Chain A
Amino acid sequence: SQELEQSPQSLIVQEGKNLTINCTSSKTLYGLYWYKQKYGEGLIFLMMLQKGGEEKSHEKITAKLDEKKQQSSLHITASQPSHAGIYLCGAPKGSYGQNFVFGPGTRLSVLP
């Protein structure tokens, strides 16, 4: 079955620093979604990538999907305390399946 791995598991950075979170799939991805979760809250959709080589940006967050569609990275530029939280990647299990599998999450702390 398809699994998603994320690295690092947790990350502590100083405000203003750049950082990257990775998500790797054991199988070809039919789409890759990035979510952010704050403690005690639900998941907030950030971005969706579908095509190999695709890159999307929203404010200071950029996500990329590699050409082989098995790895994605989430890059935050000039991090702020508001970026702190848990970042999860998720993907549909197949081209026709509406079920999702999620990575274990990366916990980000940003020190002021």
Chain B
Amino acid sequence: DAEITQSPRHKITETGRQVTLACHQTWNHNNMFWYRQDLGHGLRLIHYSYGVHDTNKGEVSDGYSVSRSNTEDLPLTLESAASSQTSVYFCASSDLRSTDTQYFGPGTRLTVL
């Protein structure tokens, strides 16, 4: 069965370190998204990609970067982790059309000390 996976599921890191969160989907979806979920803010879009070599900034992109070298993967990098980036991160994917359902990964809980 097609799926979307994230790794690691839990990560503890220190302020200033570079961290990369992996997202892998086997739906063969063109669109991939990264969100963070925080109490009081709900889900907020960090970065998204409409296809290979395409990346775009979402509403909370500062301090994060992504790259899309193939259809299946969209890794999220925190260049220099900050305590404000402690959150739960979700990856999602969807097919071509704007109204297609987004399917979500299980999430990565990141703690920055």
Contact = CB atoms under 8 A, between A and B. Distances in A.
Are A and B co-members of a single complex? yes
Interface of A: 30-31, 33, 35, 40-45, 48, 50, 88, 90, 92, 94-100, 102-105
A73 B58 CA distance: 28
Contacts of B25: none
Classify chain B: how many residues form its interface, as a range: 20 to 34
B44 to A, nearest CB: 8
Nearest to B99: A31
Interface of B: 31, 33, 40-43, 45, 48, 50, 58, 90, 92, 94, 97-107, 109
Given A41-B107, A42-B90, A100 B102 contact: yes
Contacts of A35: 104
Contacts of B58: 99
5 contacts: A43-B104, A45-B101, A98-B100, A102-B42, A105-B42
